[in-house]
Amino acid sequence: MGTLCLTLAACASSGEQRGELRLFKLQDPAMGTMFRASVYANDAEQAASAWAAAMARVREIERIASDYDSESELRRLSERPVGEWTELSADLSALLARSCELHEMTGGAFDPTVGPYVRLWRRARRAFELPDAERLSEAAGAVGMENIELKGDRARLLAEGMRLDLGAIAKGYALDEALEVLEERGLGRALLDGGGDVLAGAPPPGSDGWVVAVRPLGGDSQAWPLELAHRAVATSGDASQFVLIDGERYSHIVDPRSGWALKGSHAATVTAADCATADALASAVCVMGEDGVSLAELLPQTEACYWRNGFTKQGACATQGLGWMMVSPPEHEVTSPRLR
């Protein structure tokens, strides 16, 4: 996947005194990745206590929304008898409701019912061979938002073999919730990173925002700087997660509308007011391509840049606010952060 590397402006070095506030950096594993935070607090005890509470919230969401944990609430819902109503936790209800909105908004490019396709393509990447066409056809009957009904805090599945997958939104949602925990404890000057999804709270003392470096093409590729405050940025792509089969490159990202993994190379960076939206739209823009960028132009506080084959350094297209990402980044990645 593309990466988002946390960097700090020179005036915000670790441990530097800012009146009564000092900068602390913390990290913990969760949701199959590493969650990191740069937080301003009065002392180490306050920072550690607040971070422990934030990570407890992240792990609570992980237990609810994991596709891998057979005991998660999401997996239990997927395994309920067809047509049987199930009471949902507040978190799963919120995640599914937002997923329905994003599904409609993206014309089906984002779809939490894509699990049956994803499972077939995971096997394909391990075996280095395309999924069986008959199995893909069978899986199609279990994919589609018409197969899930939501009423308040209840849900029921309407097709056999469904397997819900919130992998493209749950991490962003967890970061939103983690920042809320920190803010409730008075530590709103924070920058959170969950495996490449980044959420900025209030800026560091004396600064306009937190500086992050966006590397949509992953690895040691060139980086574009962004300065963020009260805003999220997420990057999705297949810089490292892909498979070559019969000379064709297939991404780990699956188009829910067709059941096929994306062919070639794709990446997208999205900024939004909240991380759940940025997380979900980054994946959707990879599927939608230039249509996804056009969608972002219509949404408030949302910007997007999309890359595809042949655009190894510059974006293929972008909204006005990220249009500068279609040219080479500055030599020093933190000298000229820009965002509309």
**CA-closest candidate to residue 277, choices 318, 226, 231, 237:** 231
Residue 53 lies in a domain: no
Residue 279 confidence (pLDDT): 97
pLDDT tens by residue, 101-113: 999 999 999 999 9
Whichever domain contains 131, its CATH number is: 1.10.3980.10
Contacts of 216 (CB under 8 A, 6+ apart): 2, 235, 237, 239, 267, 268, 269, 305, 307, 315
Q: In whole angstroms, how large is the CA radius of gyration of the chain? A: 20
pLDDT less than 70: residues of the chain: 1-19, 310-315, 328-340
Residue 329 confidence (pLDDT): 62
pTM of the model: 0.89
Residue 99 lies in a domain: yes
Residue 196 lies in a domain: no
64-100: b (≥16 Cβ within 10 Å) or e: bbbbeeeebbbbebbeeeeeeeeebeebbbebbebbb
Residue 121 lies in a domain: yes
Q: Domain tally for the chain?
A: 1
Q: Domain range spanning residue 119?
A: 67-157
pLDDT tens by residue, 42-70: 999 999 999 999 999 999 999 999 999 99
In contact, 308 and 264? CB cutoff 8 Å: yes
Residue 138 lies in a domain: yes
